[in-house]
Structure 1
Amino acid sequence: MSGRALLRAGLGLLAGTQVVPALWILLLPELFWKWPWVSHLPPYNEHLLRDFGGASAALAVVLCSAAAALERRLVITALVAYLVSSVAHLLFHAQHLEPLSAASGAGFMALLGVAVLLPAALLWLAAGGAALREPERPVRRPAP
């Protein structure tokens, strides 16, 4: 698989990891709240959940745009934005594992770790070139 194809597939996968929970949260926030990895941190706050769902949907838009365009600055920006979110998510949950069983906590940390390692690997690939498009430069015309 070429670097471009790998980046496009990775960006699409990351976008999917945002679209699914975003739709779930925006359409059924109470059902999302009942998920064991979420509900152990009460109280329920529909406003914050819907804000998080909207932010996840917005990040999915950026990731999808990067996957479609494969333009260097957009890809790097999308991956850095995803990394900022996923590192913050991992750090928070790493400090709040006590309500979970050992197996559930380990699984959750593994999942959140992949959410950091995958975009980091894709960022490394993108920074190395991966045959990404360079941004188009406007043509400067001499003044008449």
Structure 2
Amino acid sequence: MQTKLTRVLLVLFGLLELVPGVWASLTPTGFYQDFPGFRRGWVAMDGPFNEHLLRDFGGLNLAMAAVLIGAAVTGTTLAARVAAIATLLYGAPHFFYHLGHIEHFEQIDKVLIVATTALGLVVPLVLLALPSKKALVSGTAG
């Protein structure tokens, strides 16, 4: 079984994935022009508009949200670990891509892009490191 912290992280990160998922799925042009909303043009500065790519990105984020929130609802350690691995497999390439493609952004945007995409590495690694509730009770790892 999962700890309360594991469930909270799964749900919070799932909700974070839900926002760009819904946005890019419903209005790919708006997502392209305005993401992340408080700073304009992060996606638009990276190349020409591609509706297919943005709809795929939206769908991927919706799927990640479902996996993360579904793992929290399921409540098993295995579900949490599978969700963490899926998030890491998506988050690592996303982070490293942006790390290598930020030179044309303002300094504040560079910091924000690196910090926000780093969550795709940090959160799943934390989820993988957290012990299960059973391990905490019995004093063993698992």
Tell me which amino acid in the other structure corresponds to 1:130.
K
1:31-68 deviations in whole A, cap 9, x for unaligned? 10013211111111001110111111111111111000
Cα distance in 1 for partners of 2:118, 2:51 equals 27
Aligned positions, number: 128
Note if 1:15 corresponds to 2:18.
no
Unaligned stretches of 5+ in structure 1?
A: 133-144
1:130 equivalent among 104, 129, 133: 133
Q: TM-score, normalised by structure 1?
A: 0.83
Amino acid at match of 2:28: P
Q: Which has the higher contact order (CA 8 A, sep 6+)?
A: 1
For the pair 1:105 / 2:104, whether they are aligned, the reply is no
Q: Which whole-Å CA distance do the structure 2 matches of 1:104 and 1:59 have between them?
A: 25
What is the aligned partner in structure 2 of residue 66 from structure 1? 71
Question: RMSD of the alignment, in Å?
Answer: 1.5
Structure 1 position 72, deviation (Å)? 1.9
- Consecutive unaligned residues in structure 2, runs of 5 or more: 35-40, 136-142
1:99 shift after superposition: 1.5
1:70-89: CA deviations, max 9, x gaps? 11221111011001111111
Amino acid at match of 1:12: V
TM-score of the superposed pair, with normalisation by structure 2: 0.84
Cross-structure match for 1:39: 44
Counterpart residue identity of residue 7, structure 1:
T
Q: How many angstroms does 1:131 deviate by?
A: 3.4
Identity fraction in percent: 32
Instruction: Work out whether 1:86 is the aligned partner of 2:85.
Output: no
Is 1:4 equivalent to 2:10 in the alignment?
no
Counterpart residue number, 2:140: none
Structure 1 residue 130, shift from structure 2 partner = 3.0
Aligned to 1:114: 119
Higher Rg of the two aligned structures: 1
